[in-house]
Chain A
Amino acid sequence: MNSESTPTPLSTLSPTSSDAASPNLQVRFKSENGRLLLLLPPEGEQNSLSLTWTDVWQQLKQRLNAGDRFWQPNTSVHLIGRDRLLDARQLQAVVDLLAESQLYLKRVYTSRRQTAVAAATTGISVEQQPSVSPLTPPAESQSPLADPLYLQTTVRSGMEVRHTGTLVILGDVNPGGSVIADGDILVWGSLRGVAHAGASGNGRCMIMALRLEPTQLRIGGQVARAPETPPAQYQPEVAYISESGIRITKSTDISRLRSYLSDL
């Protein structure tokens, strides 16, 4: 195998495609001013895209399973519920689930009166915020890249991990699974699913994996399939955008690549 291989380019994505690592489609943990925030995706008007409680619950469990080494015991969590309706039983379930990871729910922020009442009856301190006017998007969407997200998990078929910064997966990404990040994507394992780096349009992002045999690679607005003929031997590789589209190179050549990219 020569040191560089060209995956088959497909079409060009429009950078505004719904595929951007929209934070609104994923349960997220975020630390801000020393507080750990748990952000739930908003319920929204567009029913087709919004997540049901079962989806939210599954995401939360997968998220907690993947990152429990990274929280100090007894960290308090602030739940940002936005406009999501939560009943007392769901809130209690969240409290119990967090407790299993030695996290405790300190406060609930919501814009829904019913949720606020439910939280109060469950005995959680609550703060009801006026719902944000749809004309002013939440401030977080304008922020630069978020802190890198480090997950120790296997991303299995049907699972999707989105992050607004760089994403590090310690494990495999299986066929049918996808990882989408606004920054770089590093997979310390086999990447067999779909990866989209620079999902908000940054074409200088890279995708690297110990074993790169993806279903599809996307960087910024470009899409490519893996080469038709798989290499005889796998080695750690990096995918990046060159003038001729997405290219793959040995990871040991990354330093050369860096200088090439900075020349760009």
Chain B
Amino acid sequence: MSRVIVVTSGKGGVGKTTTTANLGMALAQRGRKVAVIDADFGLRNLDLLLGLENRIVYTAVEVLAGECRLEQALVKDKRHPNLVLLPAAQNRTKDAVTPDQMKQLVQELSNNRDYVLVDCPAGIEMGFQNATVAATEALIVTTPEIAAVRDADRVVGLLEASDIRKQHLIVNRLRPAMVQEDLMMSVKDVQEILAIPLIGVVPDDERVIISTNKGEPIVLAQKLTLAGLALDNIARRLDGEDIPFLDLTATHDDLFSRLRRMFRGTS
């Protein structure tokens, strides 16, 4: 039985696609058979992040139109053949596909695969419904900003209403130093509002930008950075391993900040 997981957030630009690409890659590295679907019709990005853009021949729309078979549209990853990408059409809009068609695609794709990750577009309109219709689990990605958390909260409510109850939270682009200075929402603040179980915290890291530009997910690096390690750990937790959370504060917890906090009287 394969697990169909939608990666969603409500707000745009919080890291859904980066998360999808990295989790897909990390799971494939662990020997799982993974399919990632780009459900962002008209604004596809997942192929770029995986460095597979120039290998796309057919897209999901052609599969649905019967112009090709599903296998023909799937793009196999050059580094890990366990990972395949089903690209979205770039020349269509979100209304080109109906939820029923999407469900059918995902079901066909989930045959003999361990994971199907669906990269959801921003917003809660048709594209969101298409992306979530076949999912049985959800990963909610948010950054520690009120706008992102507000939108994530809306999405959690909508997913609950469509009976997707297995939801996990990823807090992305956290800046531990700012949290310690009380300038940024902490993971605890975010959890207090969203009230769903946490599966990982990814620190802000400019090397993520470099890796997306190069089309090489950061979990592929020989020596994992903190962000890469955090994403790899999320993949492991998703896969059922019990991994303790990283201590992101360690590097910033010098004598000065300790003293400052002591004087401010917070923990």
User: Which of A45-53, A119-127, A152-160 has 4 or more CB atoms under 8 Å from chain B?
Assistant: A152-160
Interface residues on B, range: 10 to 19
Most central of A65, A174, A177 by chain B CB within 10 Å: A174
Other than the given A58-B161, A61-B162, A65-B161, 17 more pairs (CB < 8 A) read A61-B163, A62-B157, A65-B160, A154-B195, A156-B154, A156-B156, A156-B157, A157-B150, A157-B157, A158-B153, A158-B157, A172-B193, A172-B195, A175-B146, A175-B193, A176-B153, A176-B154
Chain B residue contacts of A157, Cβ below 8 A: 150-151, 153-154, 157
Contact A156 B162 (CB under 8 A): no
Q: Does A192 contact B (CB under 8 A)?
A: yes
B259 interface residue per 8 A CB criterion: no
State the total of A-B contacts with C-beta under 8 angstroms.
39
Looking at the assembled complex, report how far the CB atom of A98 sits from the nearest CB atom of chain B, in whole angstroms.
Answer: 14
Within the assembled complex, what's the spacing in Å between the Cα atoms of A177 and B154? 9
Q: Is the CB of B161 within 8 A of A174?
A: no
Q: Pick 5 A–B contacts, CB within 8 A, sort by A.
A: A61-B161, A65-B161, A157-B153, A158-B154, A176-B150
In the complex the two chains form, what is the Cα distance from A122 to B97 in whole Å? 29
Task: Give the interface residue-count category, chain A.
Answer: 10 to 19
Contacts of B156 in A (CB 8 A): 156
Smallest CB-CB A-B distances: 8 pairs:
A156-B157, A157-B153, A157-B154, A158-B154, A61-B161, A156-B153, A58-B161, A157-B150
Could you give, for residues 144-170 of chain B, a 1 whenever the CB lies within 8 Å of some chain A CB and a 0 otherwise? Answer: 001000110110111011110000000
| A175 lies within 8 A of B161 (CB) | no
Q: Are B153 and A174 in touch, CB under 8 angstroms?
A: yes
CA distance A49 to B216 in the complex (A): 48
B150 touches A58 (CB 8 A): no
Q: Which residues of B contact A174 (CB under 8 A)?
A: 153, 193
Q: Are B193 and A192 in contact (CB under 8 A)?
A: yes
Chain A residues whose CB sits within 8 angstroms of the CB of B161 once the complex forms: 58, 61-62, 65
Kindly list chain B residues whose C-beta atoms are within 8 Å of the C-beta of A177: 153
